């Protein structure tokens, strides 16, 4: 899918922020709509009828909620309505899934549902959820992300921020949330998803940040669906309404940028947001390179000027030099060479934080409970491959009943890499599974790289046994460098 120059620029900027640990998400009701939740208009439709109002004619829904409350003299009916509406649907949608997989550590939301924290848990992360002011003073051990629910949580529906009175008293009752959000808005780059910017609390906080930073506020982004002429009737009234709404949207976007440095990203359909998030995920992962392989022997290794393990050592170090994080399953016979290559680079550059340079996922060798070891390995392998954006394949053999065979695990990792959208680079001259995979790729290159046919000449070099190890490694690094720029 082709994106505008502005959206491509955002993707690059936000990937950079994710890598630097300063990316944040602000989720509005729109993020949960795809999960089956109704929006505010639909939620208030029937209660509005009961007081004689038409929700489609109302623009200030906070005031409408206040009118409904005034009629009953209690928040209980609205709280019950919210609880029933939200409990009836808890499907994590694709946007939640993508965001949860990314190493984003700060989430803010006005939503009452638990979909953000549920998606984080589903992806093996430990979220620290702040539902009320008292939660701000406690820290969950080994947390992976903080989820600030500034308007409360469905588990305590009677205390959620809901009516106009709640908004008026917000800064008094929830001042620490306001302070925390101001801090994050000053120090992090936010992406607002599913948010209409009609919330009076957020507008107040944004204005305070603008005053505090005195025109030096951090750049933020938000998604808006373009006002589309096809959504309006073709008569004179419809055309006038379209022109009016388009102008209003343009003025709103200009105001957000001028006053709060929030840049609007215009999409044709809400589904485009999912494609943009996928592109961000793919771009972020391009710096994560899986080195797949195993070896019980090296007879088919065809590079003449270097020993196999020394080649893998040098290859791993050069990949690290590219600014990539190496992923290894610590394949039999080659795992130490991969690790040593990365360590060599770390010590030469005087860096000591190993976790910034390598992800090690050694495979289990035996079972300690009544489980299927092969099934565990399959799931383990799948999770490991999903961490990467590029996969390099070397060697790939194992001993079975005293004879050398092709390592089916390496073949499986290749298939998983393709299924998960990774770019694959089998080094044919290392032999065994990698040579089989290299031949398969060269014979069907257009299938594997339909948009990068010009890379074929570089891939062909990876099967040339007359080339030196330096040329092979430089070619692999050249391919990785070019693929890193394509997502």
The tokens describing 226, both together, are 């373009």
Nearest 5°: the CA angle 417, 323, 325 is 45
* Strand residue runs (E) in 325-458: 325-328, 358-360, 390-395, 397-400, 403-406, 423-426
The tokens describing 268, both together, are 């044709």
Q: Which residues contact 381 (CB under 8 A, 6 or more apart)?
A: 329, 363, 409, 412, 413, 416
Task: Report how far Cα 429 is from the mean position of its chain's Cα atoms.
Answer: 35
Quick one: angle between helices 76-87 and 61-72, nearest 10? 120
Beta carbons within 10 angstroms of residue 95's beta carbon: 25
What's the rounded Cα separation, in Å, for the pair 384 and 407?
Answer: 17
In terms of phi and psi (left: phi > 0; alpha: psi -120 to 50; beta: otherwise), the region of 89 is beta
Q: Which letter does DSSP use for residue 363 in this model? A: P
What's the rounded Cα separation, in Å, for the pair 95 and 90?
Answer: 14
Q: Which residues contact 139 (CB under 8 A, 6 or more apart)?
A: 128
What's the rounded Cα separation, in Å, for the pair 422 and 482?
Answer: 14
What's the rounded Cα separation, in Å, for the pair 148 and 62?
Answer: 21
Q: Give the up-direction half-sphere exposure of residue 10: CA atoms within 13 A in the CB hemisphere.
A: 24
Nearest 5°: the CA angle 77, 80, 82 is 110
Q: Give the up-direction half-sphere exposure of residue 378: CA atoms within 13 A in the CB hemisphere.
A: 6
151 tagged catalytic: yes
The tokens describing 272, both together, are 């485009």
User: Do residues 145 and 27 touch, judged by C-beta distance below 8 A?
Assistant: no
What's the rounded Cα separation, in Å, for the pair 100 and 107?
Answer: 10
The DSSP secondary structure of 254-278, one letter per residue, reads: HHHHHHH-EEEEEESSTHHHHHHHH
Q: Which of 151, 220, 288, 357 is catalytic?
A: 151
Q: Which letter does DSSP use for residue 123 in this model? A: T
> Catalytic amino acids?
151
């Amino acid at each position: 899918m082709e994106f505008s120059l502005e959206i491509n620029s955002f993707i690059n900027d936000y990937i950079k922020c994710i890598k630097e640990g300063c990316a944040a998400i602000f989720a509005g009701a729109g993020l949960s709509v795809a999960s089956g939740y109704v929006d505010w208009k639909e939620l208030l439709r029937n209660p509005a009828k009961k007081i004689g109002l038409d929700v489609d004619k109302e623009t200030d829904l906070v005031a409408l909620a206040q009118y409904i409350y005034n009629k009953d003299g209690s928040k209980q009916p609205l709280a019950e309505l919210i609880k029933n509406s939200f409990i009836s649907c808890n499907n994590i949608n694709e946007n939640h899934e993508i965001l949860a997989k990314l190493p984003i550590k700060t989430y803010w939301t006005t939503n009452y549902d638990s979909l953000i924290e549920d998606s984080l848990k589903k992806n093996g992360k430990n979220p620290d959820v702040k539902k009320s002011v008292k939660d701000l003073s406690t820290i969950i051990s080994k947390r992976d992300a903080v989820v600030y629910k500034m308007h409360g949580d469905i588990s305590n529906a009677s205390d959620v921020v809901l009516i106009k009175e709640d908004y008026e008293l917000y800064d008094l009752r929830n001042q620490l949330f306001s302070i925390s959000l101001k801090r994050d808005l000053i120090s992090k780059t936010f992406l607002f998803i599913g948010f209409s910017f009609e919330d009076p609390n957020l507008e107040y906080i944004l204005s305070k940040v603008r005053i505090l930073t005195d025109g030096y506020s951090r750049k933020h982004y938000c998604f808006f669906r373009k006002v589309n002429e096809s959504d309006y009737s073709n008569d004179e009234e419809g055309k006038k309404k379209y022109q009016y709404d388009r102008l209003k949207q343009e003025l709103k976007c200009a105001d957000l940028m001028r006053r709060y440095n929030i840049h609007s990203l215009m999409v044709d359909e809400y589904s485009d947001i999912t494609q943009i998030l996928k592109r961000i995920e793919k771009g972020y992962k391009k710096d994560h390179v899986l080195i797949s392989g195993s070896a019980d022997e090296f007879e088919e290794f065809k590079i003449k000027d270097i020993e196999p393990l020394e080649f893998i050592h040098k290859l791993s170090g050069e990949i690290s030099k590219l600014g990539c994080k190496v992923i290894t399953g610590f394949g039999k016979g080659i795992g130490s060479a991969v690790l040593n290559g990365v360590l060599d680079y770390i010590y030469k550059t005087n860096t000591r934080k190993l976790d910034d340079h390598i992800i090690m996922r050694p495979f289990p060798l035996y079972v300690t409970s009544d489980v299927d070891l092969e099934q565990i390995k399959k799931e383990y392998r799948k999770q490991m491959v999903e961490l990467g954006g590029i996969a390099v394949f070397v060697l790939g053999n194992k001993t079975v009943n005293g004879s050398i065979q092709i390592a089916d695990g390496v073949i499986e990792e290749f298939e998983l890499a393709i299924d998960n959208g990774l770019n694959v680079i089998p080094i044919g001259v290392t032999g065994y599974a990698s040579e089989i995979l290299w031949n398969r790729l060269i014979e069907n290159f257009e299938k594997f790289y339909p948009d990068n046919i010009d890379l074929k000449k570089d891939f062909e070099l990876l099967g040339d046994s007359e080339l030196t190890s330096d040329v092979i490694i430089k070619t692999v690094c050249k391919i990785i460098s070019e693929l890193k720029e394509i997502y």
